[in-house]
């Protein structure tokens, strides 16, 4: 998965792996989310639609969304590219420019998925 915003727009990377939000298998089961299913991740700052990657390689109760995607907003403002920037704000950065923990996001299955 590209980890640089410039790499996210390279067709070779786009063909190799689509962006995904990682979710623990127990959390996915509780939310009725299946591996590969389109889901919405949202908070009070924004909403993205992205593919779910169900795995035990992440701690239960958390999700992981890699940075590097450029936003691509739908007509209702939903990001269809999986850009973490849509869910974050510089107001939540400390003096070292690292995100503070505790951003609250919600995840639910996408319509028609």
Between the ranges 17-21, 41-45, 53-57, 101-105, where is the mean pLDDT highest? 53-57
Tens-place pLDDT, residues 12-25: 776 777 889 999 99
Answer yes or no: are the C-beta atoms of 27 and 52 closer than 8 Å. Answer: no
> Which pLDDT score, from 0 to 100, does residue 2 have?
45
**Cα 107 from Cα 42, distance rounded (Å):** 7
41 contacts 31 by C-beta, under 8 angstroms? no
Please give the domain boundaries of the chain with CATH numbers for all domains. 7-109 (2.40.40.20)
């Amino acid at each position: 998965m590209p980890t640089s915003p410039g790499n996210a727009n390279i067709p070779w990377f786009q063909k190799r792996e689509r962006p995904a939000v990682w979710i623990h298998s127990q959390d996915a089961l509780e939310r009725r989310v299946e591996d590969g299913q389109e889901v919405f991740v949202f908070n009070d700052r924004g909403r993205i639609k992205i593919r779910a990657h169900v795995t035990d390689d992440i701690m239960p109760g958390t999700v992981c969304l890699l940075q590097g995607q450029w936003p691509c907003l739908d007509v209702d403002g939903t990001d269809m590219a999986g850009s973490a920037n849509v869910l974050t704000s510089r107001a939540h950065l400390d003096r070292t420019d690292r995100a503070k923990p505790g951003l609250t996001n919600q995840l639910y299955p996408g319509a028609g998925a």
